[in-house]
Chain A
């Protein structure tokens, strides 16, 4: 084969592929433009569904009639869009509609599919409509992290003791989106999740303990106080720092004193969290213990000390003024903190 023949052959191959690609683009474009033409009627279906869920005259049969010209996927997409925005009777109507047109049945079947994308989509459908299904529990140990994360979201819609138990296992998942989804699920589930989480705290590994403490900070449930106090003596500084944050969020009457004690911790991160907690609690008796931190070598800690003293009212402000003369790091931070106060005052006066 000569060089020219070779190039001609290559040209034929490339030309054919271009033609094929073009054909796919044109075909897809035509299908899409056909869908665009259907769009006004899709608006009708959307309106019919909205009317139905608001309990007005449209019936499910009417909607199904209107929707018969469309792919079921369109209808499901409309319903999925609507699902997070409706509650109570409207939601019940929507779910009943989804059941009547077979969406729920297909989703129940879909969570057992061999394809991860089908399992994921089906789990999302069941989550959106809040459908409880035994078939969802195996999803917590699915091999796809996306599916496991979705299972956590489903647990918020269908909370049960078993789901909570599986969520706790998911907190230890190596895939970031799974542990994140489990934490988020516990925050959304709220107080119902506190007791199981407290039980888990006693046996969990270090990473899970930290994740539970993060949940405790977000939920601010004072039932975590006792365990947070005990964990404030944990060997891990990261755990102690989070425990200090939980103490501050618990709002327990003894929390202020506990945080003052943690100001003496050998880890700077723990001291930072304790000082931040005192700021949150506005625990003015701690002012004298915070003051030495203005001179700390770590800038973040000096800044936190300034902010905390500012939040402690008159006792803190007096200590800031005492420290402000001079040119050391403590004076510099005290001046900056006081400037912050005067800038706020100026703004309020204006």
Chain B
């Protein structure tokens, strides 16, 4: 053990320390950028009348793509909410991806479907489309029934049938703010160079849902969901807006993202991979650089999609492992972008930062823990130093979460009650005592399983809002990557 420590770990300890300092500086820059971006955005939207601008006849048309597989529990509420979205020119394309439960039957009985035979071009190859339906009650609602091919295949089928200028990919269990689309479309109006825009995802575990709408926006009162709520705030109020000014985002959550349809068709749509949302964004940006065209990915902090998060450690572990596999897969597929001047800021700043500070973070953290523990055991480090260093690492983690909560407090305050917001502070502190170490372990397992060749989705249980757990539910789609 002594030999292992002295020859391998001890020389690395200064590198780990340097990484720790670099990470702190990187987050400082990211936070400053996020705060500036948020300040500008809040001033920009103050007293703005979205309905005036976006009820315009020349506003871009939007098709919402909703892939659904065994979403019987939540599909009715989700579609009801989508139908009342405040956007003038909206089409909703729900793709039932070979569900084995009553998803299609629920849709049919709820929305009075009738078969249609639209003329459409299968620009992207997908599994067999069995039937297409339109709702008699809501003509803008189209349902595509197809053989099971996965989430990416479903999105591609929807992409073929959609007819709008922009497409919005969402998860079937996501609940959107009614005016979310009007806010999210803003970057596309601002510039023709924008090819994608993402929005904030928040944890809905403590909220009450009625008729597919949030009746009350409450923070989670249970620790596991509460800590995830803090993680989401950190990722969406801190990480994503920060990247807006530092070279553009590398990820739009599959739970709520808006893209130019033609760009998706030109790059052959979604590909079947564990992290298809991140892969798509990297591919769109990479493709633009290769064709010499500008392509910006914007993040808008205001529109919100609400989603349930896992309430059991086992499920959460599987989810985080899957995210890390998806992340690894995307980085590996596009490894040629790394430090390649041909890809401008993407290759020289964004991609390396994601690899260094996100992908490598669990590896460095585990190495750091090993060094400290073995260093204390072998007498190279004093126990006092080890304890203080652990406190410092926790302190930095708490500080980052607190800064995200500060941004939330000074901007949107969506978790309305004071008690909810006070609890978020508690969760932010608790996160570093056990939970963070667990996520490091799950992410590490994700990297290992990716290296060992595991590429499948795994299972995720959907329980539907305000309902009980169903341990044996079949797998369902869900994708909110928490990076940066």
**Interface residues of A, Cβ cutoff 8 Å to B:** 3-4, 7-8, 10-11, 14-15, 17-18, 21-22, 24-25, 28-29, 32-33, 77, 80, 84, 116-117, 120-121, 124-125, 128, 145-146, 153, 175-177, 180-181, 183-184, 187, 214, 218, 299-300, 303, 306-307, 333, 336-337, 339-340, 343, 347, 350
Contacts and interface: CB of A to CB of B under 8 A. Distances in A.
Contact of A14 (B121, B389, B399): B399
B382 interface: yes
B53 interface: yes
A7 B46 contact: no
A18 B49 contact: no
Nearest to A115: B43
Interface stretch (B65-73, B240-248, B403-411): B403-411
A260 B125 CA distance: 35
Contacts of B43: 116-117, 120-121
Contact of B47 (A116, A121, A303, A343): A121
B221 to A, nearest CB: 17
Given A7-B389, A117-B43, A124 B48 contact: yes
B37 to A, nearest CB: 14
Sorting the interface of chain B by its residue count into under 10, 10 to 19, 20 to 34 or 35 or more gives 35 or more
Nearest to B192: A176
Nearest to A156: B52
B391 A11 contact: yes
Interface stretch (B173-181, B278-286, B328-336, B418-426): B418-426
In order of increasing CB-CB distance, the 6 nearest A-B pairs are A117-B43, A14-B395, A184-B56, A21-B402, A218-B57, A7-B388
Given A7-B392, A25-B409, A183-B58, 19 more contacts: A4-B388, A14-B396, A22-B425, A24-B410, A25-B406, A28-B410, A29-B409, A77-B47, A84-B52, A176-B190, A176-B191, A177-B190, A214-B58, A303-B119, A307-B119, A337-B119, A339-B117, A340-B117, A340-B118
Contacts of B117: 336, 339-340, 343
Contacts of A11: 388, 391-392, 395
B114 A299 contact: no
Contacts, number: 119
A76 B425 CA distance: 33
Contacts of A145: 190
Contacts of A340: 117-119
Interface of B: 43-44, 46-49, 51-53, 56-58, 114-119, 121, 186, 189-192, 382, 384-385, 388-389, 391-392, 395-396, 398-399, 402-403, 405-406, 409-410, 413, 418, 421-422, 425
B395 A18 contact: yes
A128 B388 contact: no
Nearest to A144: B44
A337 B119 CA distance: 7
B335 to A, nearest CB: 34
A333 B114 CA distance: 22
B121 A218 contact: no
A39 to B, nearest CB: 11
B44 A180 contact: no
11 contacts: A11-B388, A25-B409, A25-B425, A29-B421, A84-B51, A117-B43, A117-B44, A146-B44, A181-B53, A184-B56, A214-B58
Contact of B385 (A3, A17, A32, A336): A3
Output the residue of A21, A177, A306 with the most chain B CB within 10 A. Answer: A21
Contacts of B48: 124
Contacts of B395: 11, 14-15, 18
